[in-house]
């Protein structure tokens, strides 16, 4: 007899491939100094100097369907560009102060009416320092590591004669940096390349990106230019694409200079695929070599090298991907201990899928990895805080079955519901079971059937089996034995233990 019993199988967490997604960059991209400026508005961070060690903003990746016709026909007039780079100012604010000092923006007044903030706490000065530190072609923020003297400082002009030769060189270097910043801030080649790319005019965009790559240094936007020359050449020109040449350009972008002190990208666990030009180029190279691409041969060792580079330049999913390679034995012997090392690295940086993958291993234990359910629950909870549906389902299952925790049916149902709404197919099957059995919730076969349909649509074998059971008996809707058999066959292919016997039973009924 078929029954819509509770879901007892545990689904392995789904992985997010590090392939470039189809998201498009917004019309305005945040300047490199934006995070530093936001943090500088916090008085404590400003006073401690922590704001100047801010993380670099990231952006969604541009990865359109290159085979689609352009939105604007090729050969049309060039699009109009904003007066400012990416619709934001690129260099330091001409009106911002160049040295630290009291500012009217500091709201606290001393007894004599003057600003009470110390010089280094000046908001305006701190923001100016952020902008100067991230100026196109500039160096680190405020630590003197560049060896440059600001070209508009007294030391670089009025006092040059009194300085040693090394100081004169530093002053000249400072003027060079500001000159490069001037050139970059007025560059139109890179914005034009992006504008044409967004219109689907890839051949025309390629020319502008090549100009930008020849004009701009890496930290001035040359990294983005090299990345997009590589992306378009790799696959954006149809039959005229040249993957070998594309890989050369991607390597230029992926090996651009990187300073972890002020170029480590921000990481948002709810938008894990956001990236920088350097990180995106490394991820694309990893995927190219992992699978092979046209004349570029598959090379798992080279793929690991580029995923490692992505991780090194701060792209947290790069570490997660390396964990996947070791866990699945892709191109290398399976090594769960090394997988755990990489998953832990990403998990500590708040990557939800890495936290869930690590928890799955610790929950059962693997060769070379001891079982530790207490640690596993901690990682599931960390991932659940970021809305990870697989982690929420795992927590629901733990409280449902009393594994590693005290059983709590209501808490389990809450986790299942949140996971189901977040897209977890096994959690949807669990919700269907609640409505089918009438425990904690009023029995409602129609609603149960809808949840099982949703689970089956998500390829969950328990959802398929339970939906087939209801279809075979006409529970919650019309009876449909043929559809029930089709679902049972799909469930059997996925290893559902009861599906083969159920198929035999239904086939006997049809005779």
Instruction: Give residue 240's pLDDT.
Output: 92
Phi, psi of 115 (to 5 degrees): -65, 135
* pLDDT, position 44: 58
**Please, which residues have CB within 8 angstroms of residue 134's CB and are 6 or more apart in sequence?**
31, 32, 33, 36, 141, 262
How many angstroms separate the CA atoms of 186 and 9, rounded?
Answer: 59
Q: Which residue has the tokens 């917004």?
A: 26
Q: Which residues contact 156 (CB under 8 A, 6 or more apart)?
A: 149, 150, 171, 174, 175
**Which of 394, 357, 396, 461 lies closest to 16 in space, CA to CA?**
357
Token pair listed for 471: 């279809």
pLDDT value of position 124:
67
Structure-block tokens of residue 433: 């079971």
**DSSP readout, 118-183?**
-GGG-HHHHHHHHHHHTSTT--SSSSSTT----TTSTTTTTTGGGS-HHHHHHHHHHHHHHHHHHH
What pLDDT does residue 39 have? Answer: 67
CA dihedral (295, 299, 304, 309) positive or negative:
negative
CA atoms within 13 A on the CB side of 161: 1
Q: Nearest 10 degrees: CA dihedral of 455, 456, 462, 467?
A: 100
Q: What is the reported pLDDT for 45?
A: 58
How much is the pLDDT for 131? 64
What one-character-per-residue DSSP string does 65-102 give?
A: -TTSPPSS-TTSPPPP--SSGGGS--S--TTS-SS---
Residue 369's beta-bridge partner residues? 366
What pairs with residue 265 in β-bridges?
Answer: 56
Query: Whole-angstrom Cα distance, residue 320 to residue 339?
Result: 9
- pLDDT per residue of the chain (511 residues) written in tens, 0 to 9: 344 443 433 343 444 433 333 343 344 455 666 666 666 666 655 555 555 455 677 888 888 999 999 999 999 999 998 654 443 333 333 443 333 223 333 333 334 433 333 334 456 666 666 666 555 444 443 333 333 333 444 444 444 454 567 777 777 777 777 777 777 778 899 999 999 999 999 999 999 999 999 999 998 899 999 999 999 999 999 989 999 999 999 999 999 999 888 788 888 898 898 999 999 999 999 999 999 999 999 999 999 999 999 999 999 999 999 999 999 999 899 999 999 999 999 999 999 999 999 999 999 999 999 999 999 999 999 999 999 999 999 999 999 999 999 999 999 999 999 999 999 999 999 999 999 999 899 999 999 999 999 999 999 999 999 999 999 999 999 999 999 999 999 999 999 999 999 999 999 887 7
**Per the CATH hierarchy, to which homologous superfamily does domain 424-511 belong?**
Tetratricopeptide repeat domain (1.25.40.10)
DSSP SS3 for 296: strand
Q: Where are the domains of the chain?
A: 424-511
Nearest-angstrom CA–CA distance, 60 and 81: 20
Three-state DSSP at 113 gives: coil
Q: What's the pLDDT score for residue 176?
A: 73
d(CA 122, CA 173): 27
Contact status, residue 281 vs residue 227, Cβ threshold 8 Å: yes
Nearest to 115 by CA among 127, 101, 129: 101
d(CA 292, CA 155): 55
d(CA 250, CA 280): 9
Task: Give the three-state DSSP class for 215.
Answer: helix
Q: What is the DSSP letter of 117?
A: S
**Residue 115: its pLDDT value, please?**
35
Euclidean distance between CA atoms 135 and 220, whole angstroms:
8
pLDDT value of residue 266? 84
Alpha helix ranges (H) inside 186-238: 189-198, 202-215, 222-235
> SS3 for 366?
strand
Residue labelled with tokens 């060792």: 301
Tokens 């425990």, residue located: 439
Q: Helix 277-291 and helix 300-312: axis angle, to 10°?
A: 160
DSSP letter for each residue of 312-361: HTT-HHHHHHHHHHHHHTSSS---HHHHHHHHHHHHHTT-HHHHHHHHHH
């Amino acid at each position: 007899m078929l029954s819509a019993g509770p879901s007892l199988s545990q689904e392995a967490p789904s992985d997010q491939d590090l392939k470039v997604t189809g998201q498009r960059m917004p019309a305005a991209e945040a300047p490199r100094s934006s995070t530093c400026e936001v943090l500088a508005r916090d008085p404590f961070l400003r006073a401690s100097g922590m704001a100047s060690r801010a993380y670099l903003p990231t952006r969604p990746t541009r990865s359109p369907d290159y085979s689609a016709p352009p939105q604007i026909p090729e050969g049309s007039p060039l699009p109009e560009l904003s007066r400012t780079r990416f619709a934001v100012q690129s260099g330091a604010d001409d009106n911002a102060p160049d040295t630290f000092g009291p500012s009217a923006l500091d709201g606290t007044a001393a007894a004599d009416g003057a600003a009470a903030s110390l010089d280094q706490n000046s908001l305006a000065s701190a923001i100016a320092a952020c902008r100067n530190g991230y100026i196109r072609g500039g160096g680190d923020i405020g630590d003197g590591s560049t060896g440059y003297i600001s070209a508009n400082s007294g030391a670089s002009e009025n006092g040059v004669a009194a300085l040693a030769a090394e100081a004169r060189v530093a002053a000249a270097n400072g003027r060079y940096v500001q000159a490069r910043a001037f050139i970059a801030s007025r560059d139109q080649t890179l914005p034009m390349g992006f504008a044409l790319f967004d219109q689907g005019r890839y051949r025309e965009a390629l020319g502008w990106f090549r100009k930008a790559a020849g004009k701009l240094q890496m930290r001035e936007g040359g990294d983005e230019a090299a990345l997009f020359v590589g992306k378009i050449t790799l696959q954006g020109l149809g039959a005229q694409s040249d993957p070998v040449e594309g890989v050369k350009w991607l390597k230029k972008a992926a090996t651009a200079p990187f300073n972890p002190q002020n170029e480590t990208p921000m990481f948002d666990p709810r938008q894990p695929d956001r990236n920088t030009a350097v990180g995106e180029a490394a991820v694309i190279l990893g995927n190219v070599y992992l699978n092979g691409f046209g004349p570029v041969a598959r090379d798992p060792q080279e793929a690991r090298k580029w995923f490692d580079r992505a991780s090194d330049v701060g792209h947290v999913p790069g570490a997660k991907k390396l964990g996947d390679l070791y866990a699945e034995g892709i191109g290398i012997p399976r090594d769960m201990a090394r997988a755990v090392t990489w998953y832990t690295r990403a998990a500590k940086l708040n990557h939800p899928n890495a936290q869930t993958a690590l928890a799955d291993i610790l929950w059962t234990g693997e060769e070379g990895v001891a079982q530790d359910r207490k640690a596993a629950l901690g990682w599931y909870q960390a991932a659940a805080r970021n809305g990870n549906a697989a982690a929420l389902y795992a927590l629901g299952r733990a409280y449902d079955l009393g594994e590693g925790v005290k059983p709590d049916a209501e808490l389990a149902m809450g986790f299942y519901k949140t996971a189901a709404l977040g897209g977890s197919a096994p959690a949807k099957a669990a919700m269907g079971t609640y409505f089918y059995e009438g425990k904690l919730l009023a029995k409602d076969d129609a609603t149960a059937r809808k949840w099982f349909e949703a689970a089956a649509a998500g390829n969950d074998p328990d959802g398929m089996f339970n939906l087939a059971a209801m279809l075979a008996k006409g529970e919650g809707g019309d009876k449909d034995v043929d559809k029930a058999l089709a679902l049972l066959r799909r469930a059997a292919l996925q290893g559902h233990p009861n599906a083969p016997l159920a198929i035999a039973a239904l086939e006997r009924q049809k005779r």
